[in-house]
Chains A and B, each alone.
Chain A
Amino acid sequence: MFDQFDALLLARFQFAFTVSFHFIFPSFSIGLASYLAVLEGLWLWTGREVYLNLFKYWLKIFALVFAMGVVSGIVMSYQFGTNWAVFSDKAGPVIGPLMAYEVMTAFFLEAGFLGIMLFGMGRVGRKLHFAATLAVAVGTFISAFWILSANSWMQTPVGYGINEAGQFVPQDWWAIIFNPSFPYRLVHTVFAAYLTTALVVGGVGAWHLLRERTNKGARVMFSMAMGMVAVVAPLQILAGDMHGLNTLEHQPAKVMAMEGHFESHPDGAPLILFGIPDQEAGTVRNAIAIPKASSLILKHDMNAPLSGLDTVDRANWPYVPVVFWSFRIMVGLGFAMLALGVFSLLARWRDKLYDWRPLHWLALSMGPAGFVAVIAGWVTTEVGRQPFTVYGLLRTAVSASPLEAPAVAASLLTFIVVYFIVFGAGTGYILKLMGKAPHPGETGPEAGREPIRTAGITPAPAVNPARTLGAEV
């Protein structure tokens, strides 16, 4: 019994660890793929060299991010079976086809055109190359569509029946795919990916502006990124608010945990800004709260009643301290992003976008903020779903594989060691690339390696350097 509990906790930690690590890469590559498509499109449209240079600059980084996303994603496709066998057996008929569609519509598209995007500019011509870049960008979005549909179904399951083996049997695919929380989660997550990318690009631009105010590439990327932050940050706050209202409707216990509402408030619930949630005692200690503000936000009426966790069976409570804090980290960073966006608009209006060093320092320090917010948001929604895997229907405790704790512990330790070595090195290489200023005549991803060319097209003795991406400026 004790062993079983240990194995379960270890399996949960393992999944949380591998999925959080994995999520970092797509939350960057979704936005970066679109940014690359925009840069290449602008280059083809305007013919300005700076766009091509920026395209090549970020393409090298994209190659690394994408490779790490792929390899950490393969782990995920097998984790369901190795560690969550009962969940896979029961929910497989619903979740499995959604993921199969992700593979068939997105992964192959991305992988099939990535080679051309990275190495093919000298081989297929500009327009076809642009088409390949677009295919990769669209693929990242389709991937987000399917995986978030599957994830949302676990949060708000509909359109299913249950057969005699206890499996979820699909009855209405349309209802399953477009389940109640999916549209909100999709918009909120894709905005998050765009913001994350914009902050990284802005941070890199700011770093190079701080060192060399006249660098053309740094100026263009900083301006584009700050524009993106200024537009998307307010939209994201709006989307997050709507997502929260949707959660209140379908998963009220999650919102109670986010708000720290252990008790019901019949005439207006306070907005707890900070405090120390005590799960055992069922209270938030040292709370700093704004009276009635939570009802105003969630019900648009400051006197509206709001139920607390005291109306929910204790066996169905999520672990409040984690949800409470991760939510505050996410929201806090969201408002910091809004502040950065407003600051940049002010600078742009005064024509000081490239001159105000405090703005550059702020943008630099906010460079990694998107990743933190994404992971915090992810923790909020996933820990808030507990103690279920399929919300309200299948408990996490009965979803796990029949594994012995030492097996899960050993694999967990190996994952931790390998991920820190491999993704640590990868992050180091990305930072090294980011540390170099963009410059005219930027080389592509194959810089340093010999060109991938073939005798079939270009006989080796007659190699024309202009055929390679690096030289085609």
Chain B
Amino acid sequence: MFKLFFSLQWKAFFRSSNFGKSLALKLLMGFFAIYMMVSFAGLGAALFFILKKIYPDIDPMLTLSGYMLYWILIELFVRYFMQKLPVMDVRPMLINPIKKSSITHYILAKSGFSGYNFMALFMAVPFAVVLLSQGYPILNVLIWLFTIICIVLTINYTNFIINKSDKVLIVLGGLIAVLYGLENFGVLPVKEFAGKVFYSLYQNPILALIPLGLVLGTYFVNYNFLRKKLYLDASLKKKTKEAVTADLSWTKRFGDIAPFLQLDLKLIWRNKRTKMQVFISLAMILYGLIFYGMDAYGETSTIYLFVGIFMTGIFLSNFGQFIPAWDSEYYGMMMSQNIPLRKYLESKAGLIYVSVVVMFLLSIPYVYFGWKALAINFSSALYNLGVNVPVILFFGSMNKKRIDLGKSAIGNTQGISATQFLVMLPLMLVPCLIYFGLKMLISFEVAIAALTMMGIIGFAFRKPLLDRVTEAYRKKKYGMIAGFKEQNS
């Protein structure tokens, strides 16, 4: 039975759609994963010396122990959002001659190998190695590592128990805040107290039985709960939300494009990934603070133009680069319906225009850093409106990768291909180069004026430009329909 489950897991991993990605994307993601692992491991290895330097008189192990309570609570808090019990994959097994208890064990054991659990180990193992090299007793260090594993697994299984109610989340958040408050105002030395508790786990290997007991305990609470609810209408049910409809008749004033505008607004609001884009875009207005906060660049550095293009065009690039893949699920229908492609594109363009204007309005407070900041953001916004909107729509005609709207928003790379990286170049780099060149050769004012003019000219000629884009879509129609049909691209 175990072998069977193992081979299933193996296939699920290697045949997952993530694996079918293009080589470039795989390399990029692999690089990113290795980077994360190395930085965690590096931090783990350096941690000993860092702690030693900050608190030279205290055993780094004791200092670390002081933070462990916070680590546990914060990890629980974060996991609440990120990690769900992987129950949906077992549906095909229910009707086969496999004992329900085996299925339950399978689900729970599988969750034990989740990536979240390895994160802490990437730090803990190098840390333990350093401990050994510093002459700490082998038995204690190894047992300590074991207790860390137990604690991680306890967090893992506790998360599934508490994941059922929002109240626990509030309690958790409150607890973290209260403990931190008590500590900070000197009411209760939480760190010292917790430090002693966790340090004793290291000192007395026999106490490792306690975290071990906790793992087993939480595991069996989960087991009992899940075993009883392994039915399609209980824990294996997909949750459906009640549909809330909004009155969008105000879009009528935009004339012909109204039905598409309504559709786009619903598309954005009713799907996780698109909704996330909106929030990310709004949050990115703060991006400029990182650069404006530093004095290193001077008032008119090219980096500020990049920031301006980025902030006012964030929705443009995030949403725009996947046009028309957002509609890929029903692209065949759209193409067989009586749809003027032109109106479809106009609606998307209109939506992006609005986003650019909104982002510019939000960026007005940057005038605090001088009128030049405002000028840069203003010309960036106009450049985005006039030049980047047609550019991104045009590149959209090269999209052939399907996007399933139902999939989650975090770390979702579906629909990404080399096109997406290519399109960033003209979008962000070209205006920066123009600005840099003109500013160096002539002056800041001329550079700004040039970009603004380009934007205005592009906007004035938006109709013929959009005609061109429409033609490109028409030519690529069959390729798009076929590409969007492929499920695992």
Do A and B actually bind?
no
User: A-contacting residues of B (Cβ < 8 Å)?
Assistant: none
The interface of chain A, by Cβ under 8 A from chain B, is: none
